């Protein structure tokens, strides 16, 4: 059973979020605009899909034959994969793209189209991460990963001392591992923990969608290029790996600084499983924005540099985050609550690096255990 099932938020009046929600609702009502996608969002959607599929079509056409040219097309596809993930499917799978459920579901399956699985993502991201942000063994984004230690309660190993150096290499493997391993591991775990049933679906349906969509992905991304281009199977495979390495690295360096950053908090529930703060205030303590003035970055990453706004209002399309950020910041300060934000993307990455280095240090408990083991060896 997942630890998340035993964790609760305090049942107290949420003055902060009631006030904030009212002010945000007033913003949309007074300006007579929808909370969902607008024309700019639709144009962005077309652009991101084109960034992925146009280079793919050019590769199949054989128009570009030079190695460097093909590598550039593969790199563009990697940018497209990340762009679809950050700016398109993310909103859709949060129900923020459209007020019509079927539109959100259809666009949300774009994640399956690029190799992953929308159902698993919704459980891991929407249910676990967005609810129990930075809570050990409940938020899968920072739960034990073996090679990386992202929570002070996670097991420490000697090689973690260097994680602030080697993490950047492993970030590029994120989507590769996700597609090949994690999707299968997660659906088994979610089925066992009862999370599949809680999403009002059944395991047979989700397994069928997962396997069929994986087969479609392998068919068009690997089999067709092997059959219809002059490239050998291993060259096609290297191209796919390169594409996903670029995408994985981009996704990781956008998502990680939002929660694993110097100054963030790792709340733990009390002995009764109750967290200290209400859900909305919990998000403020565990989430950090960055680079508010970088319009180009914000456009490409789907407004996820406004991570605070996204966590508080995941059902609002990201094209509105910049406008409502002032409301969120002022309301948080009015209630004496934190509104964490780094001025630039570089400063956010630096803060992430500092925390990785800090979490990589041997904890005091581990030191004590190490000394106890040494003493035991000497006395036996």
Q: What is the pLDDT of residue 1?
A: 53
SS (H, E, C) 284-333: HHHCEEECCCCHHHHHHCCCCCCHHHHHHCCCCCHHHHHHHHHHHHHHHH
Beta bridge partners of 342: 290
Which tokens sit at 288?
């950090």
Structure confidence at residue 351 (pLDDT)? 98
The predicted pLDDT at position 235 comes to 96
Residue with tokens 């508080």: 312
Report d(CA 116, CA 97) in Å as an integer: 19
- Residues, the chain: 380
The closest of 172, 371, 358, 163 to 266, measured between CA atoms, is 358
Cβ-Cβ contacts under 8 Å for 197 (sequence gap 6 or more): none
Tell me the per-residue pLDDT of 33-65, one tens digit each, with 9 for 90 and over: 999 999 999 999 999 999 999 999 999 999 998
330 near 19, Cβ under 8 Å?
Answer: no
Spell out, as residue ranges, where the chain has pLDDT lower than 50. 366-380
Task: Print burial letters for 26-39: b (CB count within 10 Å at least 16), e (below 16).
Answer: ebeeeeeeebbbee
């Amino acid at each position: 059973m997942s630890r998340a099932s035993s964790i609760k938020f305090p049942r107290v009046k949420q003055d902060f979020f009631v006030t904030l929600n009212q002010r945000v609702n007033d913003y949309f009502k007074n300006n007579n605009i929808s909370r969902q996608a607008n024309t700019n969002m639709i144009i962005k959607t077309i652009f991101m899909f084109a960034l992925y599929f146009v280079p793919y079509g050019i590769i199949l056409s054989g128009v570009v034959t030079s190695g460097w040219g093909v590598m550039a097309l593969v790199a563009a596809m990697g940018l497209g994969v990340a762009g679809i993930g950050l700016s398109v499917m993310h909103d859709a799978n949060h129900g923020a793209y459209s007020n019509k459920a079927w539109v959100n579901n259809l666009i949300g399956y774009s994640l399956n189209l690029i190799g992953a699985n929308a159902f698993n993502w919704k459980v891991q991201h929407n249910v676990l991460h967005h609810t129990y942000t930075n809570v050990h063994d409940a938020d899968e984004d920072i739960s034990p990963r073996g090679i990386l230690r992202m929570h002070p309660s996670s097991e420490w190993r000697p090689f973690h001392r260097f994680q602030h150096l080697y993490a950047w290499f492993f970030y590029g493997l994120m989507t590769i591992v996700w597609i090949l391993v994690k999707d299968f591991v997660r659906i088994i775990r979610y089925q066992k923990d009862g999370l599949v049933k809680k999403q009002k679906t059944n395991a047979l349906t989700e397994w069928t969608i997962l396997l069929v969509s994986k087969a479609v992905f392998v068919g068009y991304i690997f089999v067709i290029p092997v059959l219809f281009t002059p490239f050998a199977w291993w060259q096609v495979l290297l191209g796919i790996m390169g594409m996903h390495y670029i995408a994985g690295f981009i996704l990781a360096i956008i998502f990680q600084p939002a929660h694993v950053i110097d100054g963030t908090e790792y709340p733990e529930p009390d002995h009764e499983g109750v967290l200290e703060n209400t859900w909305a205030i919990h998000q403020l303590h565990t989430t950090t924005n960055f680079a508010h003035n970088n319009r180009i970055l914000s456009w490409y990453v789907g407004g996820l540099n406004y991570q605070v706004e996204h966590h508080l209002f995941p059902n609002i399309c990201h094209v509105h985050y910049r406008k409502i950020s002032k409301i969120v910041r002022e309301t948080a300060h009015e209630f004496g609550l934190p509104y964490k934000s780094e001025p630039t993307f570089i400063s956010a990455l630096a803060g992430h690096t500092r925390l990785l280095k800090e979490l990589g240090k041997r904890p005091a408990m581990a030191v004590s255990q190490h000394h106890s083991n040494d003493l035991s060896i000497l006395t036996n």
